[in-house]
Amino acid sequence: MVDESPEKTEKTLLVVHHTSSPATRELLEAVLAGARDPEITGVVVRSVPALHATPVDVLSADGYIFGTSANFGYMSGALKHFFDTVYYPCLDAVAGRPYGLWVHGNNDTAGAAKSVQKITVGLELAQSAQIVEVIGPIDAADRESCYELGATIAVTVAGDL
Ligand SMILES: Cc1cc2nc3c(=O)[nH]c(=O)nc-3n(C[C@H](O)[C@H](O)[C@H](O)COP(=O)(O)O)c2cc1C
């Protein structure tokens, strides 16, 4: 019998972010620019605000980048809501998929980064780039780090083709 299911030729990279200010918007734009670098082919990049992302978005993607502000030493409530929503529907289905993370704060991002890592360990996602932690005003080096983050995860996702 001939398998008539359409061949999947493109992978999907899902960027789930809480972007609450011009500074955090700048970081998101840099991540997206890196992920959409024209030299990286075979990857569709979807950017979805954390309050709108669904289990279907997660299940239908091949890799992830999460972005959040640090709030009270934790990830933003919006990203926490995202993980609360998708965790059990996606558990066991996403193991081994690559992910990256950026965090922006004004004084200490360590707790926020750790809070995301705890959940990604539970989901068995594979951290595939160094976590980008940015404190205070955004400079060119921060934009570059975010660009690299986007490009690294996109290349990793494409490499699984
Ligand atoms: C309620 C609240 C809690 C915050 N908690 C932290 C925190 O624990 N650590 C930190 O580095 N920044 C904290 N911040 C600062 C935010 O991370 C920061 O405002 C956000 O990343 C956006 O950056 P911007 O204000 O420079 O645009 C907090 C901000 C708010 C509003």
Residue 39: pLDDT band (50, 70, 90) is very high
CA atoms within 13 A on the CB side of 71: 13
Of 142, 151, 137, nearest to 36 by C-alpha is: 151
Q: pLDDT per residue over 93-147, tens digit each? A: 999 999 999 999 999 999 999 999 999 999 999 999 999 999 999 999 999 999 9
The CATH number for 140's domain is: 3.40.50.360
* Number of compact structural domains in the chain: 1
Query: Quick check: is 68 in a domain?
Result: yes
> Is the residue at 3 inside a domain?
no
Ligand 1 pocket: which of 106, 132, 134 to mutate (most atoms within 8 A of CB): 106
* 6 in a structural domain: no
**Ligand 1: nearest atom to the Cα of 22:** 27
Q: Looking at the domain assignment, is residue 25 inside a domain?
A: yes
Six-digit token pair at 85?
């929503």
β 63-71/11-17 pair status: parallel
pLDDT digits (tens, 9 = 90+) for 59-90: 999 999 999 999 999 999 999 999 999 999 99
Report the 10 Å Cβ neighbour count for 85.
16
**What is the per-residue pLDDT for 136?**
96
Q: Would 69 be classed as within a structural domain?
A: yes
Domain range for residue 59?
11-159
Q: How close is the Cα of 133 to the center of ligand 1, in Å?
A: 13
Question: Measured from the CB, is residue 20 less than 6 Å from ligand 1?
Answer: yes
The answer to whether position 2 is within a domain reads: no
Cα–Cα distance for residue pair 114/26, rounded to 1 Å: 23
Split at pLDDT 50, 70, 90, the class of 153 is very high
Beta bridge partners of 69: 104
User: Do the domain assignments include residue 4?
Assistant: no
